[in-house]
Amino acid sequence: MSNLLRDFEVEAKNPSLEARRRWRSAVSVVKNPARRFRNIPDLDKRAENETKRHQIQEKLRVAFYVQKAALQFIGAAGRPEYKLTDEVKEAGFSVEPDELASMVRNHDTRGLANNGGVVALAKKVSVSDLNEGVKSSELPIREKIFGENRYAEKPPRSFLMFVWEALQDITLIILMVCAVVSIGVGVATEGFPKGMYDGTGILLSILLVVMVTAISDYKQSLQFIDLDREKKKIIVQVTRDGTRQEISIHDLVVGDVVHLSIGDQVPADGVFISGYNLEIDESSLSGESEPSHVNKQKPFLLAGTKVQNGSAKMLVTTVGMRTEWGKLMETLVDGGEDETPLQVKLNGVATIIGKIGLSFAVLTFLVLCVRFVLEKATAGSFTNWSSEDALTLLDYFAISVTIIVVAVPEGLPLAVTLSLAFAMKKLMSDRALVRHLAACETMGSATCICTDKTGTLTTNHMVVNKVYICDNVHERQESFQLKLPEEVQSILLQGIFQNTGSEVVKDKDGDTQILGSPTERAILEFGLLLGGDFGEQRKEHKILKIEPFNSDKKKMSVLIALPGGGARAFCKGASEIVLKMCENVVDSNGETVPLTEELIKNISDVIEGFASEALRTLCLVYKDLDEAPSGDLPDGGYTMVAVVGIKDPVRPGVREAVETCQAAGITVRMVTGDNISTAKAIAKECGIFTEGGLAIEGSQFRDLPPHEMRAIIPKIQVMARSLPLDKHTLVSNLRKIGEVVAVTGDGTNDAPALHEADIGLAMGIAGTEVAKENADVIIMDDNFKTIVKVARWGRAVYINIQKFVQFQLTVNVVALIINFVSACITGSAPLTAVQLLWVNMIMDTLGALALATEPPNEGLMKRPPIARTASFITKTMWRNIAGQSVYQLIVLGTLNFAGKSLLDLNGPDSTAVLNTVIFNSFVFCQVFNEVNSREIEKINVFTGMFNSWVFTGVMVVTVVFQVIIVEFLGAFASTVPLTWQHWLLSILIGSLSMIVAVILKCIPVESSRQHHDGYDLLPSGPSSSNSA
């Protein structure tokens, strides 16, 4: 089948426009395009929105480079005047919302100066003290005057819209016309109400199909709405009511004081208050790749841009749709989610089978018509046509159209969406947010996970456990009793409280709270334990310059002014890197002495000792300067004060999760910025670093020639002291050797690796907005165990779709052949239009619900990953489809042609009874085959069946409705009530399909391969044979 599906191949990540257009043009025989392609993006509309987006970006570029310069020369007369409205005055504000929006959008520094600068502007938006921020009681009036920080969203579709969409099915429309005509002709020939039964039965069946389809699609849409809402959740830090708080981006109001740090998205338009080295990436808004430096001279910040470096506080001036980002977001509303490889592949399968089904339907209609005409000619009544003859031909046409309904497997590609929506909803409750549908599929094929250490394998609850200072090692008991000389203690506390990107604040209850990264919190807590006061330290010294922590340099520096003149630089970071910057050290007497080779060796041994105990080590150093340097802070000549060892315990259950991955054929590699000894100790504890594995430092790895790098990559289990570029290189090379790579990341600099990997996994707690934006999945709890859950669900989605395809193709084959052969031989079809519509609902909507939403079982993680080149419809599945189809065709064919004699049926209703038995047996064959389909390879199909309430519910509903149709709706469904013996026979025929399934599963079709734990490996054939 692979040759037929050549046009239906797309990449899982960033598929090409050519591939996406190719498969769309190859799709044919679609019953309901509105429903089939509801979740597939409209490429023309997307291109139109892209053009709009570029126009907005061009306009902004003009604003940045032309208006900004021009405004400096425009006098007051050239500026638009904004008259203060009564509503704004009464609310207590002194500036119009449009004036604020225009000023920031156009980078109007003169307009800001005319308003008195940022402090005066804050007062105009009723913020009297920037250290206090807005008052919570003022939020409603601010939202009323200046608007909410929300962007235009496409309104959710109502249930009736889904009903209307389900009615767009061309085959159902034809059947409705046939039903209406049938009612008209039937009443005219057979009278009322008898003449209405056939047509009314078709209409009722269509109504049932439409309602069940609409309900299923509507529930699915609600799941996607929930997921979309979760994706848009961004937390920002603000000062409100005098305290630092975390709030949702949607709760932001004009006047809020927002705290920005590296990797944050600027949440609204605003004005710079204070900060250090603030660099803003405006490419998402203007298309410009060069970062923009923001300071008091260039104070404007625009929503949607990203903080590339530095930190700052900003005053929010414009929110929501008044910002340019809001207008840009409006163009993305109809962007749609890219189609997944499985969706595309199954669209191809549906197209091929649809063409076959259409051919059979036309042939069936022609055969029935020709036989009917020949019979009339033989009887000599060829020239005598009645309304009953017209009704018969109409019935033939309805049956043929219904064969198309059954034969075109419209539900195949939609089942993928249903399964992914279900998996994404479940993963959300498991603390994983899937941002891109295809990632859920791809995770089932992952062969390698490159994971960070801190926060993912460890708890991220850090404490300083040991400290080396004044030539002594001190271990934490309840607290630290260091007894340091006063001068040393003063310098140590200065280094801790000045050289930090975090803050010590009081919460609403007056309790001390440390805000910042876990490492920073551990260092600040250490300073507080030593009796330090964060607020006093900050008041005593003015900060002149900050160089924030950088994952490339692995250090952070700050420059402060000393009260008596001069300046002091502090630096902290990776111990062995910062130690190389030192020339002196504080000795046991608190004196500064030169750093000799012997002292360097002693300190290095201490660092190695800390690291071997799985402690993260940081070196704290300082340097006194006569005057502040104009450029970067010095890189040498420092005095070492202390080495701290920070304990970060391994998360409970991580070792078991790593073992689960290894049993599933997934290699786990640790990529960390930590010391190699710390990394190896943690990796051993987690079960990642094993005998024969390789631990390597990033510097050593990046210096290797390409051929040597390729040779050692399969052996690498730990990479320490790595830079983000090393992670990207590792991921890129792993993909080149055929691995399907998942990689974790939390920092801004991890974005390239997250983008390069097959599955990018960003951390929800420690991750920056830049990292999350480039990720495919966000791990909300930063836990490695959650990554394993994503892999398990990825495999479940793939297997569930395979189960559904096997089940549906079996029904397709049997329904097509039994009706066609019967039409050719007997001149009538045993299954009527109403009956076929019911069968279609069993195999399509209900079948997808039952099989495509089954939860994963433990066996899924005891077999290797699904190969990229694996056949989707495997030889095993073809064996099961063929075997079940042959069994059902033999049984139903025997009943159709010899049923009356075998069942000893006599009397005028014998044909009706036989057709009802055939219909009943056919339905029960599908019910039991649905149970068979729960396991493609294993004989035991009942394991965990009752854990899936959806599956159980569908089975019960199907059987109950079948009883109602047969026993009570005979007039509409062309059935008659059956005796208990006939019911028993129907159930027995259906249940025998389970014995057939056992026999079939004993027939080997794949090469004999078995996992060490006894589980059969996933079948994976070459893509050139039987692949789909």
Render pLDDT for 854-871 as a digit per residue (tens, 0 to 9): 889 888 898 899 887 778
Closest to 118 measured CA to CA, from 271, 331, 297, 302? 271
Report the 3 state secondary structure along 134-167.
ECHHHHHHHHHHHCCCCCCCCCCCCHHHHHHHHC
Q: What are the φ/ψ torsions at residue 643 (nearest 5 degrees)? A: -120, 125
- Which two tokens mark 769? 């907005």
Closest listed residue to residue 267, CA positions, set 283, 279, 251: 251
Q: What is the chain's mean pLDDT, rounded?
A: 86
Q: Which one of the listed residues 198, 452, 648, 844 is annotated catalytic?
A: 452
pLDDT tens sequence across 104-149? 888 888 888 888 999 999 999 999 999 899 999 999 999 999 999 9
pLDDT at residue 1025 tops 50: no
3-state SS record for 730-745: HHHHHHHCCCCEEEEE
Task: For the beta carbon of residue 658, count every other beta carbon within 10 angstroms.
Answer: 23
φ/ψ bin of 671: left (φ > 0), alpha (ψ from -120 to 50), beta (otherwise)? beta
- Other beta carbons less than 10 A from residue 547's beta carbon: 20
Residue 989 CA: distances (Å) to CA of 62, 790, 807: 75, 40, 17
Q: What pLDDT sits at residue 1020?
A: 42
Q: Which residues contact 203 (CB under 8 A, 6 or more apart)?
A: 176, 179, 180
Top pLDDT among 61 and 423 is at 423
Q: Work out whether the CA dihedral 719, 724, 728, 733 comes out positive or negative.
A: negative
Q: Which of 221, 225, 245 is nearest to 235 (CA)?
A: 245
Contact 752, 728 (CB under 8 A): yes
Read off the pTM.
0.84
- Angle among Cα 14, 426, 731 to the nearest 5 degrees reads 35
Closest among 725, 966, 984, 945 to 850, alpha carbons compared: 945
pLDDT tens across 952-966, in order? Answer: 999 999 999 999 999
* Residue of 672, 691, 692 lying closest to 682 (CA atoms): 672
* pLDDT computed for residue 1027 by the predictor: 39
Domains detected in the chain: 1-50 (no CATH), 409-428+798-1005 (1.20.1110.10), 432-459+651-782 (3.40.50.1000), 491-601+615-644 (3.40.1110.10)
Whether 452 is catalytic is: yes
Q: Both tokens of residue 22?
A: 């190719």
Q: Give the H/E segment covering residue 701.
A: helix 698-702
User: What is the structure's pLDDT at 251?
Assistant: 93
- Residues 569, 571, 572: CA angle, nearest 5 degrees: 160
Distance of CA 784 to CAs 502, 762, 859, Å? 26, 11, 20
pLDDT digits (tens, 9 = 90+) for 459-496: 888 999 999 999 999 988 777 777 889 899 999 999 99
C-alpha torsion sign, points 802, 803, 807, 808: negative
pLDDT confidence of residue 334 = 54
Task: Provide the residue type at 564 as one letter.
Answer: G
Q: Are 496 and 510 in contact (CB under 8 A)?
A: no
Tell me if 771 sits within 8 A of 792, measured CB to CB. no
What is the spatial distance between Cα 613 and Cα 4, in angstroms, rounded to a whole number?
Answer: 59
Contact 897, 825 (CB under 8 A): yes
Q: How far is CA 389 from the centre of its chain?
A: 57
The answer to whether the beta carbons of residues 804 and 848 sit under 8 Å apart is yes
Choose among 262, 435, 443, 264: nearest CA to 342: 443
Confidence at residue 666, expressed as pLDDT on a 0 to 100 scale? 95
Among all chains, which residue has been given the structure tokens 């800001």? 112
Q: What is the mean pLDDT of residues 594-608?
A: 93
In the predicted model, is pLDDT for residue 60 greater than 90?
no
Question: 936 vs 445, 844, 871, CA distance in Å?
Answer: 18, 19, 14
Residue 4 burial class via C-beta count within 10 angstroms: exposed 0-12, middle 13-18, buried 19 and up: middle
**What's the pLDDT at 777?**
94
Give the alpha-carbon dihedral of 950, 421, 848, 1025, to 10 degrees: -130
Kindly list the distances between the CA atom of residue 619 and the CA atoms of 295, 526, 555, 604, 624, in Å, as whole numbers in the listed order: 31, 14, 9, 11, 17
Q: What is the pLDDT of residues 253-303, one digit of tens each?
A: 999 999 998 889 999 999 999 988 888 988 877 777 778 889 888 899 999
Q: Residue 601 burial (CB < 10 Å; 0-12/13-18/19+)?
A: exposed
Query: According to the model, what pLDDT value does residue 1006 have?
Result: 67
Q: What is the bridge-based pairing of β-strands 667-671 and 448-451?
A: parallel
**CA dist., res. 754 & res. 451, Å (int):** 11
Give the alpha-carbon dihedral of 732, 737, 740, 746, to 10 degrees.
-20
Angle between the N-to-C axes of helices 654-663 and 784-826, in degrees from 0 to 180, rounded to the nearest 10: 40
Distance CA 870, CA 345 (A): 13
d(CA 814, CA 409): 13
Residue pair 411/844 in contact (Cβ under 8 Å)? The answer is yes
How far apart are alpha carbons 198 and 179 in whole angstroms? Answer: 7
Cβ atoms of residues 418 and 410 within 8 Å: no
pLDDT greater than 80 at residue 223: yes
Q: How far apart are CA 265 and CA 245, in angstroms?
A: 17
Dihedral angle sign, alpha carbons of residues 525, 497, 523, 639: negative
**23's tokens:** 């498969």
Distance separating alpha carbons of residues 880 and 865, to the nearest angstrom: 22
Per-residue pLDDT of 312-341, as tens digits, reads: 999 999 999 888 888 777 666 555 677 888
CB 797 within 8 A of CB 423: yes
Question: Is residue 1010 predicted with pLDDT exceeding 80?
Answer: no
Is 1016's pLDDT higher than 50?
A: no
d(CA 314, CA 268): 10
